[in-house]
A and B are shown apart, each in its own frame.
Chain A
């Protein structure tokens, strides 16, 4: 590396900034931030390209297709903003690097397998819960919604239990 990356923000500073960003979002839109809603719309669109008949008939994707272009939604623009904001931040701080980030004892193949399976579990979980860490945990928690705290309890408990079983993946 030619120059060292700028340090991450202290958690308290990042937490305050994230809280302000979330509050601004609530005041502008009436709802919070999200991410998995975009993945749902993207998947419905991909499914419609691959198998239009099956997608129309599907009980979950059908309504998204009938309502028009699934990706024509606020959350798509929010995700475009996330990608630009995160890239600009990482780039200007010298924190972009093309790499496979993994634990010191994990092979690239194992990391990819865990990333895929973990992603699939998150994909299913987000649809069951009707939201993810952003939509339910962060935004739901900030409205003091009971649903947000039930989600967060499940998230942290399962995270600690799973992590204990796969310690070698990261350490």
Chain B
């Protein structure tokens, strides 16, 4: 039997999903404030978790290929359509900063009890409808600037894969160090206790005289 198994069945979907959902939740990714903390630089969990996961899988696939466990072209590699993928990334980054989630994390938010995540999912469905209505006029843009099929960074840059992995690992380590410094400077990262305690502005106003230095001095 060769690996990958190319198993598209129910059990395979459930297994992948269970692992994915459990880990996303454990990382704190059911919380919109923790997720958006990445963009105020107070919480670097999005960068740290994503970059670590990308590198663990990328190094794993590389070693499995070197060891002959999987063949060279055996896993799915998306093809670049430069403008559509850049624009899609921009829209998802903007929508994530506004709405607090991406598609996967919004599902984690829903089952963690976040009503805002339910609204976000409704918004995603509405956005998908809008895209489908606009698909015909958008087709030129959708297919523009296509790259070579399944192109990877080693093909694009003409560099060996181990070197690219090594550079990405150095970038990840630098990001971890910088991110942890900024988190400390900004009072982050968000803890599980903090994200479950919703403070509204009235509560903040009431607390100011009790908690701040100014309050104590007075």
Q: A residues within 8 Å of B by Cβ? A: 1, 4-9, 11-12, 14-36, 38-40, 42-44, 46-47, 58-61, 74-90, 93, 95-105, 111-112, 114-163, 166-167, 169-171
A104→B203 CA distance, assembly (Å): 9
Hey, which chain B residues are within 8 Å of A25, CB to CB? Answer: 16, 19-20
Docked Cα-Cα span, A11 to B46, in Å, equals 8
List 18 interface pairs A-B (beta carbons < 8 Å), by A numbering: A15-B49, A24-B19, A29-B8, A30-B75, A30-B76, A31-B75, A59-B139, A82-B18, A95-B112, A116-B122, A118-B95, A119-B123, A122-B91, A126-B88, A137-B50, A148-B78, A160-B93, A171-B40
Q: How far is the CA of A77 from the CA of B127 in the complex (A)?
A: 23
Most A C-beta atoms less than 10 A away, residue of B22, B64, B88: B88
Which chain B residues in 187-204 approach chain A with CB under 8 Å?
191-193, 195-196, 198-201, 204
Q: A150 to chain B: which residues have CB within 8 Å?
A: 80, 82, 85-86, 89
> Which of B8, B77, B89, B200 has the most chain A CB atoms inside 10 A of its CB?
B89
Once the chains are docked, how many angstroms separate the CA of A24 from the CA of B81?
A: 28
Residues of B within 8 A of A60 (CB): 131-132, 135
B209 part of interface (Cβ distance < 8 Å): no
Q: Choose one: A26, A29, A85, A118; the contact of B57 (CB below 8 Å).
A: A26
Q: Are A82 and B21 in contact (CB under 8 A)?
A: yes
A80 to B119, CA, bound (A): 19
B111 touches A83 (CB 8 A): yes
Q: Cβ of B198 and Cβ of A159 under 8 Å apart?
A: no
A162 touches B76 (CB 8 A): no
- Most chain A Cβ neighbours within 10 Å, of B58, B82, B113, B141: B113
Instruction: Determine whether the beta carbon of A28 is less than 8 Å from that of B26.
Output: no
**Known pairs A17-B23, A125-B88. 4 more at Cβ < 8 A?**
A19-B53, A90-B111, A128-B91, A133-B96
* Contacts A8-B27, A29-B6 given; does A98 touch B115 at CB 8 Å: yes
In the bound assembly, the distance between CA atoms of A5 and B112 in angstroms comes to 12
Give the residue of A16, A59, A80, A134 whose beta carbon is less than 8 angstroms from that of B13: A80
Task: Give the complex CA separation of A118 and B99 in angstroms.
Answer: 4
| Chain B residue with the shortest CB-CB distance to A158 | B93
In the bound complex, residues from chain A placing their C-beta under 8 Å from that of B101 are 115, 118-119, 122
Known interface pairs A120-B95, A145-B78. Does A11 touch B104 (Cβ–Cβ under 8 Å)?
no
Query: A84-B18, A85-B21 are contacts. A140–B40 as well, Cβ < 8 Å?
Result: no
Interface residues of B in 53-68 (CB under 8 A from A): 53-58, 60-61, 64
CB nearest to A131 among chain B residues: B78
Q: Are A121 and B127 in contact, with the CB atoms below 8 A?
A: yes
Closest 3 CB pairs of A and B: A118-B99, A81-B17, A119-B123
> With A17-B26, A35-B104, A85-B21 as given contacts, are A123 and B130 in contact (CB-CB < 8 Å)?
yes
* Proximity bits, B166-199, A CB within 8 Å = 1, else 0: 0000000000100000000000000111011011
**Bound form: Cα–Cα A128–B120 in Å:** 18
* Contact with A9, one of B26, B141, B154 (Cβ below 8 angstroms): B26
Contact indicator A82/B104 (Cβ below 8 Å):
yes
Q: Which of the listed residues B24, B94, B107 has the most CB atoms from chain A within 10 Å of its own CB?
A: B94
Q: Is the CB of B77 within 8 A of A140?
A: yes
Please report the C-alpha to C-alpha distance between residue A27 and residue B15 in the assembled complex, in whole angstroms: 12
Cα–Cα, bound, A104→B187 (Å): 15
The smallest beta-carbon distance between B100 and chain A, in angstroms, is 7
Distance of A33 Cα from B102 Cα, bound (Å): 14
A49 to chain B, nearest CB (A): 12
